[in-house]
Amino acid sequence: MPATSLDQLVSLSKRRGFIFPGSEIYGGLANTWDYGPLGVELKNRVKKEWWQTFVHKRQDMVGLDAAILMNPKVWEASGHVSNFNDPLVDCKNCKERFRGDKLLEEKLDVEAAAVLKIDQVQPMLVAEKIPCPGCGKIAWTEAKKFNLMFKTQQGVIEGEGSDIYLRPETAQGIFVNFKNVINTIRPRLPFGVGQIGKAFRNEITPGNFTFRTREFEQMEIEYFVEPGEDKQAFEDWKQTVWDWYLSLGITKANLRIREHDKKELSHYSSRTVDIEYRFPWGWGELFGLANRGDFDLSQHEKASGEDMKYTDPDDATKKFTPHVVEPSFGCDRTVLTFLLEAYTEEKLENGETRTLMKFDPRLAPIDVAILPLSKKEHLVAKAQELYKKVVQGTDLVVDFDVTGSIGKRYRRQDEIGTPKCITVDFGTLGEDAKQGEKDTITIRDRDSLKQERLHIEELINSLVR
């Protein structure tokens, strides 16, 4: 089960260095978060697992890393300038600002709220007697379209022609490079391009920790297929992504699939399903799968004048615009899900409670901790020797801790999810009464708490992944 309260996770994240509030020494900047020393390791591992699974281990995939800043014509062609809007209303009494469609959604169903035109939003709020959540009055302004893209200026001269946007999705970087990829890699359909990177949206109601922020990271795939093969590809990706989340330790009961209603679909999609996770505040979108058809490539062909078609390498007369199935993962939401899923409080036999993060070992920020039993100089020296051996002989992330009792140090490692702790003791030095313990260590398992004695050479072999 996920942590019962988000507060517990936020507090552990801050205390142990997973996630800090952004710009904290200046009083913060609302809804910005910084990944700390452990958070960055966890996030990098999520990205590494994703890249390995979806780019390296598939013959039909390649990677890309496109620029965040793109020619503004991209966003006109993609439909984001005209369609990526929320209807905003202000309360004339308290001056607070809200998304009119969201206020209406609570009263009407999602479908009914989604079909309203911008000039119907305010009259509908009044007709339904929907008060301001801030002050309780019904004093709404006309709804205004608010584009979610962040605008900035390029170059030193402010003014006309220099306005550009921070990308609101990584996807367009892939579409505009379609020809480059085709011409250099010469892939056969079906094939996909994967990309991990930042995206920016001026969200009206960010919140719930890293769930909805204005700056976030996406892990996206644009998968190109022959028209007519999109439906099967859609089903295949739905299953593949579902299985990926389960394989990394997400509990099945905390995941569900939600099909978008026709009225709810984004401007580019003919079908969308979300994989939702049961967050502490309720179900929320973790991943979205969209059938974008030939929308983007056709739009870019029209707007840029470049031919965006694909020619069959076996039959040059067969030329067409591929259709696109898009698996889109929120990286920060995925990290948040793994954090929530890992958080465990366990009652021990002695009545104490231990907090542990039960990360899949592939995701744990630290693989092993090396702990000399005490601060005695020769124990520490031996443990340091072992530390060097492990970091040089493996690609593991290794922690070294001498501070506090061994019990306290175990607890600290449990709390950050370190799967294995290695203790160097007097047996290791050959100073213990027991025979044959020289150059052996104990290795302790985070989940079972079992300890095993191993020879150092065996240890290195057992740690190599």
Q: Which residues bind ligand GAP (CB under 6 A)?
A: 169, 171, 201, 203, 212-213, 216, 218, 220, 285-288, 326, 328, 330, 332-333
User: C-beta of 222: minimal distance to ligand GAP in Å?
Assistant: 9
User: C-beta of 36: minimal distance to ligand GAP in Å?
Assistant: 18
User: C-beta of 337: minimal distance to ligand GAP in Å?
Assistant: 10
- Residue linked to tokens 């000399």: 372
Angle at 246 between CA 242 and CA 247, to 5 degrees: 115
* CA dist., res. 61 & res. 54, Å (int): 7
3-state secondary structure of 5: coil
Closer residue to ligand GAP in complex, CB, 6/429:
6
Angle at 270 between CA 268 and CA 272, to 5 degrees: 95
Closer residue to ligand GAP in complex, CB, 101/332:
332
Closer residue to ligand GAP in complex, CB, 198/318:
198
The residue at minimum Cβ distance from ligand GAP is 330
* CA dist., res. 361 & res. 359, Å (int): 6
The alpha carbon of residue 417 and the mean position of all alpha carbons in its chain are separated, in whole angstroms, by: 19
Closer residue to ligand GAP in complex, CB, 74/286:
286
Neighbouring residues of 449: CB distance < 8 A, sequence distance ≥ 6 = none
Task: Give the residue among 78, 74, 66 at the shortest CA–CA distance from 266.
Answer: 78
- Within a 13 Å sphere around the CA of 367, how many CA atoms are in the beta-carbon half? 15
Closer residue to ligand GAP in complex, CB, 2/288:
288
User: C-beta of 201: minimal distance to ligand GAP in Å?
Assistant: 5
* CA dist., res. 392 & res. 388, Å (int): 6
User: C-beta of 108: minimal distance to ligand GAP in Å?
Assistant: 22
User: C-beta of 329: minimal distance to ligand GAP in Å?
Assistant: 6
Closer residue to ligand GAP in complex, CB, 87/372:
87
* CA dist., res. 219 & res. 331, Å (int): 6
H helices within 52-191, ranges in order? 73-77, 80-83, 100-107, 110-114, 118-127, 171-176, 178-185
CB distance 169 to 220 below 8 Å? yes
Closer residue to ligand GAP in complex, CB, 105/203:
203
* CA dist., res. 296 & res. 176, Å (int): 9
CB distance 242 to 257 below 8 Å? yes
Q: Beta-carbon neighbour count of residue 101 at 10 Å?
A: 20
Closer residue to ligand GAP in complex, CB, 285/458:
285
* CA dist., res. 140 & res. 123, Å (int): 9
Amino acid at 325: V
Closer residue to ligand GAP in complex, CB, 169/399:
169
User: C-beta of 170: minimal distance to ligand GAP in Å?
Assistant: 7
User: C-beta of 272: minimal distance to ligand GAP in Å?
Assistant: 8
User: C-beta of 244: minimal distance to ligand GAP in Å?
Assistant: 14
Closer residue to ligand GAP in complex, CB, 191/216:
216
Structure tokens at 416: 């950050």
Closer residue to ligand GAP in complex, CB, 140/287:
287
Angle at 396 between CA 393 and CA 398, to 5 degrees: 100
CB distance 98 to 133 below 8 Å? yes
User: C-beta of 38: minimal distance to ligand GAP in Å?
Assistant: 20
Buried b / exposed e over 37-51, threshold 16 CB at 10 Å, is ebbebbbebbbebbb
